[in-house]
Amino acid sequence: MNMIPMDYEKTDLGEIQIAPEVIEVIASLATIEVNGVAGMSGDFAGGIAELLGRKNLSKGVKVEVGQREAAVDVNIIVEYGFRIPEISAEIQRSVKHSIEMMAGLNVVEVNVHIHGVHFKTAEKPEEEDPQQRVR
């Protein structure tokens, strides 16, 4: 696991290091909290991991992290009917705020990539099959 070298996070008791995966999870959680985000769009490997029963909390997020700064790319699917520019701006604010508050890193950019639109399907009541009825 690659750790972020944070020279300024040395204390009398030792060093504090944050793995890049932690920043990815923070960004992912901040993104899915935004109203209008249907989900994260990940890569093929992430989809396989989820099929195998491991939920990937950093799905759809890529980060570049330096000693004091971070750049984030999030890949999302939006709910139909929401304004994409407004959702994107809210994601940028939410991700920046969450990473800066939790990790103490300065977020220099948050790029939002829209990969699809999710349409809510109207649920149809199941029709009874007359041949399957027990009498």
Provide the pLDDT for residue 46.
46
Query: Which residues lie below 8 Å from residue 69, measured CB to CB, with a gap of 6+?
Result: 105, 106, 107, 108
pTM of the predicted structure, to 2 decimals: 0.75
pLDDT at position 49: 40
Task: Note the pLDDT of residue 59.
Answer: 84
For residues 53-80, give the mean pLDDT.
Answer: 86
Whole-angstrom Cα distance, residue 23 to residue 108?
14
Tens-digit pLDDT profile for residues 67-89? 889 999 999 999 999 999 999 99
pLDDT tens for residues 18-38?
Answer: 899 999 999 999 999 999 999
pLDDT band at residue 121 using 50, 70 and 90 as cut-offs? confident
Q: Angle between the 20-32 and 84-103 helix axes, to the nearest 10 degrees?
A: 140
Mean pLDDT value across residues 5-30: 82
- Residues 81, 37: contact at Cβ < 8 Å? no
Q: Tell me the average pLDDT across 39-61.
A: 62
- The rounded distance, in Å, linking the Cα atoms of 70 and 101 is 13
Q: Of the spans 1-5, 54-58, 94-98, 128-132, which averages the highest pLDDT?
A: 94-98
**Which residues are registered as beta bridge partners of 83?**
none
CATH class, domain 15-119, is alpha beta
